Amino acid sequence: MHTSEIIAGEPHLGQKPPSPAPSIDKSILQSKSVPLTVDALTFGASAVGSFNTAPRPDDPYRYQTGFGNRFASEAIPGALPPGGQSVPQRCPFDLYSEQLNGTSFISSRQTLQNVWLYRIKPSVAHYPLQPMSQNPDIEACFSPHNSNIQYTPLSYCWGPLPLPTDSEKVTFVEGLKTMGGHGDPTHKEGLALHMYTANTSMSKTAFINNDGDFLIIPQVGRLGIQTELGRMIVRVGEVCVIQAGIRFKVSLPDGPARGYIQEIFGTHYELPELGPVGSNGLAHPRDFETPSASFDIDSSEWKIILKLTGKLFSYTQNHTPFDVVAWHGNYAPYKYDLSKFNAIACGMKEQLDPTVYTVLMAKSKIPGVYLSEFAVFTPKWLNTQDTFRPPYYHRNMATEIGGLIYGKYRGSVKDMVPGGLSCENSYMPHGESYEAFKRASTAELGPELSGEGALGFMLHLSSHFSITKFAMERHPDLKPQKPKFWEDVQGHFLDHLDKVNDILVAVGRPKLGANAPIV
């Protein structure tokens, strides 16, 4: 029992609860927001509401803008309770109040995430849960003791998953394939990387992921995503985040679809710190779009599929899960158009680390270390002089996962195509081919528009990354290793031994090999 129930006692019998359908002053709705005191000669205009995006030809919905905002949205005016309380004795229109928490109750105000929903029927109104037949290609436990995964230092490259044939009926949930990950949702730490294909819209079926937050990256086909908090169209070139515990369904307005998903356990995505970049770089908070309240009236039977530790369960209910008439809070799905990313590059010399292309990050439990960094490679001008412009040879404590959404891959080692995926595990050396090195070392440098017509991404993961059996054995397009790829690399330092020895003699030191021990 809540403390408030103990203190409140019995209500006064003569006190009537507020009307469930509040009366709305139509003059307020029609207000033009003209100041009470106005100089007709100087008054220009006043806003009549906050900014919402306008519908577009390929996206009919309006969105609220901002990142991490505490939004308030109502599909019916007056559906939200009056300010000062979220749980009135009777909600407007006799809606049910329901809170969804994305963080623990005792989280700091800075990290607290929750949303209050005002819906036609509460989520608890459903029939008992039942185990489902499992998707053998979904994995959530990445312990080294799990025989379905393997930690390996090898480099990997995969082609795109083939789209389902017309004879198959594959929904978004049925088309999930886990490529790898680390950690475990029961420990609230780690992540999973999935690829998906689908050719069938979800009908009278919703999905709820209890394991973590989805970052969805479409590569083929728009996704029509209906969530409890509203609707989104996610186009190729956009990404969206759907947090754990939020029910959603996916339709396919363009037919067959394909893409990538990064799922994080026990944490949420946030914007990276800007530091010396200042206030105007990378992904601008105002460009993130959150759906507005939208509800259906539907008393037919629905199936809800639930994922917990990678296992699937389901239950049925005799009403739609998408009946939220109003909501307020900051635990809400959102999307972002990657073409709006403000890329940063050096102006004169040197290379910046690729983390300057980070759109979203997720914290790990280790202070100062991020679980994952989602970086995007959009077109940018390269102007640096006396600088090796391709990615330099390096070994990274982070695992690097690369994907190509569209366009031509500019690297020289991987056989990457749109829809493909690559993996360089932590501390393993990688870089461009010897031929690419020679070209870049001798090229005449001038301004260059890099990445025109292409869109790629990279995930920097701060841990080792396991590969699933699906990715190693059942993926239809695992690219073969190239065992002799680096055989032609030359050590050109050896071409300068005479000059090196002259320098050593000039400074009073022996020539190379002069004092070497006789073996």
- Domains in the chain, ordered, with CATH? 1-44+61-348 (2.60.120.10), 349-482 (2.60.120.10)
Residue 196 in marked binding region: no
CA 187 to CA 444: how far, in whole Å? 52
Nearest alpha carbon to residue 286 among 59, 69, 110: 69
**500's tokens:** 């090196």
Residue 409 in marked binding region: yes
Residue 400 in marked binding region: yes
**451's tokens:** 């990445």
Nearest alpha carbon to residue 264 among 211, 326, 199, 320: 211
Run of H or E residues at 505: helix 497-506
Q: Where are the alpha helices (DSSP H) in 161-282?
A: none
Region of residue 44 (phi > 0: left; psi between -120 and 50: alpha; otherwise: beta): alpha
Nearest alpha carbon to residue 422 among 408, 406, 403: 403
User: Which are the contacts of 161, defined by CB distance < 8 A and separation ≥ 6?
Assistant: 177, 195, 196, 197, 258, 419, 475, 476, 477
pLDDT score, position 95: 99
Instruction: Please give the order of strands across the beta sheet that includes 358-363.
Output: 156-158, 421-424, 399-406, 455-461, 370-377, 358-363, 269-270
Residue 496 in marked binding region: no
Q: What is the mean pLDDT of each run of 10 residues along the chain (519 residues)?
A: 38 53 63 68 86 95 97 98 95 98 86 96 98 96 97 96 96 98 96 99 98 99 99 99 99 99 98 91 97 98 98 98 99 98 89 92 92 96 92 93 96 93 95 94 94 96 97 96 91 95 96 77
The answer to whether the CB of 116 falls within 8 A of the CB of 328 is yes
pLDDT score, position 19: 57
Partners of 473 in beta bridges: none
The answer to whether the CB of 51 falls within 8 A of the CB of 281 is no
pLDDT score, position 34: 64
The answer to whether the CB of 66 falls within 8 A of the CB of 290 is yes
Number of other residues whose CB lies within 10 A of the CB of residue 414: 21
pTM of structure:
0.92
Could you tell me how many helices (H) and strands (E) the chain has, helices first? 5, 30
pLDDT score, position 12: 45
DSSP label of 205: E
Counting beta carbons within 10 angstroms of the beta carbon of residue 1, is it exposed (0 to 12), middle (13 to 18) or buried (19 or more)?
Answer: exposed
